[in-house]
Amino acid sequence: MYRVARELTFCYGHRLMQHAGRCRFLHGHNAVVVLTLGADRLNADAMVVDFQHIRDTLGAWIDAELDHRMILHRDDPAVAALHTLGEPLYLVDFHPTAENLARHLFERAQQLGLPVVEVQFWETRSCYAAYAPTG
């Protein structure tokens, strides 16, 4: 299998309401997403996917939907106050951990037609979560 990877970056805030530590408070990160794509055969341009196509699809979606937004569970009590203040929000039905965000981005890449095999979601320079389906 051929594989290529593209790194995408964005800034976001979140909090983990059920976390016992500091992550239960609103805070921010500079995320690095490493999207790995794969194919058994190369396309007519001798590529898995053009790197620019990755930027133009998933990268554009990240810029429009996640960059400089608070990513919060839709039941987070902070949503109403932040909405009143006009803060940009991206609401999800899961707790916005690095693990869940990796899976969310994997699924979005699939929906955009990218042959994704893994997503690494780097929350900090030293901590990341990865998602790849089994089987």
**Which residues are annotated as catalytic?**
23, 68, 123
From residue 114, alpha-carbon distances to 8, 47, 87, 121 in Å are 15, 13, 31, 17
CA distance 63 to 79: 21
Which own/partner pairs from 88-96 qualify as long-range (CB within 8 Å, at least 24 positions apart)? 90/12, 90/65, 90/66, 95/16, 95/17, 95/18, 96/14, 96/15, 96/16, 96/71, 96/72
Joined tokens for residue 82 = 């932040």
Amino acid (1-letter code) at residue 98: A
